Structure 1
Amino acid sequence: MKTLLALTILLFANVSAHAASSDWVKVDGAKMRLIGMPSLDNGPYRAGLQIELEPGWKTYWRNPGASGLPPQLDFSASKNVNETQLKFPAPHFFAEDSSIGYKNSVTFPISVTPTMRGFPMALDVNGIVGICSDICIPTQVQLSLQVGKSAISQMDVAMALNKSQALLPTQPEQGFAIEDVMLQGEEKPALVVMARVPIQAEDVRLFVEGPQSWYLDRAELISRKGTLVRFSVDVSEAKSREDILAADLVFTLATQRKAIEQTMKAKAAQ
């Protein structure tokens, strides 16, 4: 076990020695930068948009809720980059404005596949990020990360990327999954979602996404007994019950330690 731990630390230290970062850019309510480092398994390059928020400020998830602005980022100006994929850690719900997102700090992981491996890359991002306090400010983002032999040791970059990766939703597993989704009610239809979470799980929360044109209200935790939790989601703004039953619904179930993502259809209550 000690040999395995030592080898893991050695690999981690070696990768962090090739970490890279752009300069911090200060904006109203936050500062942000691009960070990156190679993967441990020779997979896609691991990058991230790191945002440090001032007290009272927040930024948003891909589905920002009733208010807010999701990140809208363009990587087309990058060099020696074939594909990028922006990912989202599990978010939180903010009751003061019914929005969904992040406070304090967040790193959005970016998976980067180079066109030609072994050659320097330039990751350029342009776009808009919502940074909000009492009002939401669409903040212009223009950042560039040069990836090559000039990278230096930055343990903080490696730690931020590893933390953000750990907060990404994974596949459902035994004892941590959505088990059933029922559509109940006629005049005010609602989804009743039953799920299993670990017995020691804290800060259990659920986010539901439907078709892009839908707005789904907050998932309310209505009961918890042991590992079984039940949520209710108001879907009265959907056009019809048929639309609700036909939709592929994306569920993000999160706790203080981990999260899963699962796609299911609702069933009509008997």
Structure 2
Amino acid sequence: MKRLQTAAIALLFLSSAASAATSSWVETEGGDVRLVALPAAADGSVRAMLDIRLHDGWKTYWRDPGGSGIPPSITLTGANLVSIGFPAPRRLGDVENHYIGYDRPVRLPLTLGNAAGGAITAKVFLGVCKNLCIPVQAELSVDTSGESFANPLEEAAIAAAEASLPHGADDGFKPLSGHFAADGMSVTVRFEAPGDTPLPDVFLSSASSFEFGAAGPVRREGAAFVAEVPVLHRPKVFDLAKNPISLTVRAGEKTMESPLAID
């Protein structure tokens, strides 16, 4: 697990009982968390979300925290976790202790599979930080067995969570190339972004055991933007065709996420 740099660490284990298709809030010092799920489709798939309600001044982590922190982890019973979506993060902390995550409430849309239309329980592990960091462990349960139609409020909340995800590549906002340094300790990233936005911020992540740091200053080279991203951990064996590195870019309020071709 990625290291957690803290002044003090407290571990909370809390649970919420099943109540319709939205769990109770599990409340902690730094933020509250709940699970929201819609009725299962005919193929057993479920649209859901992990709702993280951060308190003022508290922060939580992205899927690759940048070398310091705890990425959110979800383990399910009653369904399989097919995918978890992350809105584009922000660079947080200071020069000496920086990390990547969120400083405001965030909703992570989930796609679940093989749901039988009954109880679903999610064991969630995440970190929230202010002056100290608290690893939060929560057990969240929902029961969709009595749900044949989606609750409009739940459906609207999940649709908003899905809409918050970065868009895919398109004309004028797309990755161009990636290149490992000779020592393998950084990746040079080239991409296009809208020219009418603030200087973009760049984040890399991977489903394999790569770990990336916060990108250096973004610079222009002709029509392209270029950034150097530190590689904090590079696995001895990896298959980029199977598990490609993802490039996430934030340019003002515009965001993009797409696989990055490494040459």
Same fold per superposition (TM over 0.5): yes
Q: Which residue of 2 aligns with 1:137?
A: 134
**1:82, CA displacement in angstroms?**
5.1
Partner of 2:85: 87
- Give the conservation status (yes or no) of the 8 Å contact 1:82–1:114: yes
| 1:166-205 Cα deviation digits (max 9, x unpaired) | 2324432222111122445x67964332111123344622
The CA distance in 1 between the partners of 2:151 and 2:246, in whole Å, is 39
- Residue 135 (structure 1) shift: 1.9
SS state at 2:213 partner:
coil
Q: Hey, what's the Cα distance between the residues in 2 that align with 1:203 and 1:148?
A: 48
Q: Which has the larger radius of gyration?
A: 1
Q: Residue 191 of structure 1 is aligned with which of 167, 180, 187?
A: 187
> C-alpha separation between the residues in 2 aligned to 1:187 and 1:140?
38
Mapped contact 1:199–1:226 kept (Cα < 8 A): no
Q: Is the 8 A contact 1:87 1:108 kept in 2?
A: yes
| Shift of residue 210, structure 1, vs aligned partner | 5.7
Structure 1 CA distance, aligned partners of 2:158 and 2:222?
33
Aligned-pair CA distance for 1:114: 3.8
Within 5 Å, which residues of 2 pair with 1:1-270? 20-37=21-38, 44-76=45-77, 78=78, 81=79, 84-96=82-94, 97-116=97-116, 120-150=117-147, 153-155=151-153, 157-183=154-180, 190-202=186-198, 204-209=200-205, 214-224=210-220, 228-235=224-231, 248-255=244-251, 256-265=253-262, 267=263
Q: Report the CA distance between 1:68 and its aligned residue.
A: 1.0
Report the secondary structure of 2:171's partner residue. Answer: coil
Equivalent position SS for 1:131: strand
TM-score (norm: length of structure 1): 0.72
Counterparts in 2 of 1:40 and 1:168: CA distance versus 1, 3 Å: farther
Provide structure 2 residue ranges, at least 5 long, that are not aligned to the other structure: 1-19
After superposition, the Cα gap between the structure-2 partners of 1:217 and 1:258, relative to the gap in structure 1 and judged at 3 Å, is: closer
* CA-CA distance at 1:121 after TM superposition: 2.5
Higher mean Cα deviation, 195-204 or 50-59?
A: 195-204
Gap change, CA 1:36 and 1:258, over 3 Å in 2: farther
TM-score of the two chains, using structure 2 as the length reference = 0.74
Contact 1:253 1:261 in 2 (8 A): no
Local SS of the residue matching 1:128:
strand
Q: Provide the alpha-carbon RMSD of the alignment.
A: 3.6
- Measured in 1, the distance between the counterparts of 2:222 and 2:156 equals 34
Q: Bigger relative contact order, structure 1 or 2, given CA contacts below 8 A and separation 6+?
A: 2
Shift in Å, 1:226: 8.7
Q: From the superposition, tell whether residues 258 and 210 of structure 1 become closer, same or farther in structure 2 (CA, over 3 Å).
A: closer
% same residue: 27
1:88-117 Cα shifts (integer Å, max 9, x gaps) = 22211113331111121011111122445x
Is residue 208–residue 251 contact of structure 1 (8 Å, CA) maintained in 2?
A: yes
Q: Distance in 2 between matches of 1:140 and 1:164?
A: 22
Work out whether residues 213 and 232 of structure 2, in 8 Å CA contact, stay in contact via their aligned partners in 1. no
| Structure with greater helix share of residues | 1
What is the number of equivalent residue pairs in this alignment?
238
Separation in 1 of the partners of 2:174 and 2:256? 10
Q: Distance in 2 between matches of 1:181 and 1:262?
A: 10
Asked whether the 8 Å contact 2:178–2:260 carries over to 1, the reply is no
CA distance in 2, matches of 1:122, 1:203: 46
CA distance in 2 between counterparts of 1:57 and 1:107 reads 15
